[in-house]
Amino acid sequence: MATATLPLLTPNDFSSDREVRWCPGCGDFSILSQLKKVLAVLNVPREKMVFVSGLGCAGRLPYYLSTYGFHGSYGRAPALATGLKLANPDLQVWVVTGDGDALSAGATHLIHALRRNVDLKILLFNNEVFGLSKGQASPTARPGTRTKTSPEGSFETPLRPISLALAAEATFVARTIDVDVNHMSEVLEKAAAHRGAAFVEIYQNCKIFNDGVFEYATDASIKTDTVIYLEHGRPLLFGRDRNQGLRLNGFEPEAVTLGHGITMDDILIHDERASEPTLAFLLSRLIGPHFPECLGVFRSVQRPTHQQLLDESFLQGDPPRLFEKLLAGDESWLVA
């Protein structure tokens, strides 16, 4: 019996008939473009993909893709996506959210989706501001950020999405940036291939309300000193001549320059597959001006997904208590 071959898809096959409406210069255009390129090479039928979003500028993305989509309410995208994935495990489910949507009303939903290891691909667009509601300080706004709700500068301690995801036991955690399109595509492909909760923070420039906040990581004249690209099994080096690196001084990270008694043996080696997220968490805390920030995969490990654990649980007993029977029952369910 011949095996059916899926037709080859192109990025244009994932374009919907909706006009893309973001502000000119918005980083979301770049993310959408690279995402379509990645989807085209996954060999997954479009009818097997679903994009679930919450509120904010990022929430518009499902309208611009020719896949199934669901535009949810404020902060609830991870909960909606969890129910969708459990009801139909064959679907590839993506969550699109922003720093305001995911880390304000949605923080609890995000944490539980990650710690349960639900097989979701969660993309958090982080521009450190509420864009759609016209420029208020978000949970990731840096101290001193002037907005409509912080005219004298934000004074609150910002949340760090990567640190939060690692603390919630996400099995895949990564960060990329809107203008580095090759790096973004590479990270998105790895997230798509991961089995379990994959969390990707994407630094995204808001041209209108927080323009240039990530220039230190995009300006070619300085970013070699301000960014470390994480590579599994490779030393944590940076600088134009790659002669600077990170080492531990007790339990504290330290940026050092090779030479004068400091050798490559002193430099930390990145291990995204480490059983404990200790070093990954340390790297997630690095921020300028004293340290470069990290882009790439912080952690990528395997453990049973939420669906696998449910199946094992409901297959126990005589007769087996199949999860499908539970879903087919008359009981009401609340996804927290």
Backbone torsion region of residue 233, taken as left when φ is above 0, otherwise alpha when ψ lies between -120 and 50, otherwise beta: left
End-to-end CA distance of the chain: 45
Determine the pLDDT at residue 36: 98
CATH architecture of 11-213+304-327: 3-Layer(aba) Sandwich (3.40)
Rounded distance, CA 181 to CA 30, Å? 7
On the question of pLDDT at 180 being above 90, the answer is yes
Percent of the chain at pLDDT > 70 equals 92
Predicted confidence band of residue 18 (pLDDT cuts 50, 70, 90): very high
Tokens of 87: 């009801």
Rounded distance, CA 101 to CA 59, Å? 9
- 131 burial class (0-12, 13-18, 19+ CB within 10 angstroms)? buried
pTM of the model: 0.92
Instruction: Give tens-digit pLDDT for 202-256.
Output: 999 999 999 999 999 999 999 999 999 999 999 999 999 999 999 999 999 999 9
Nearest residue to 162 via CA among 177, 150, 144: 177
Number of residues that this document lists for the chain:
336
The residue-averaged pLDDT of 280-307 equals 95
Rounded distance, CA 293 to CA 17, Å? 38
CA distances (Å), origin 153, targets 147, 290, 292: 7, 21, 24
Instruction: Give tens-digit pLDDT for 21-69.
Output: 999 999 999 999 999 999 999 999 999 999 999 999 999 999 999 999 9
Tokens of 300: 């990528």
DSSP H or E segment with residue 122: strand 120-126
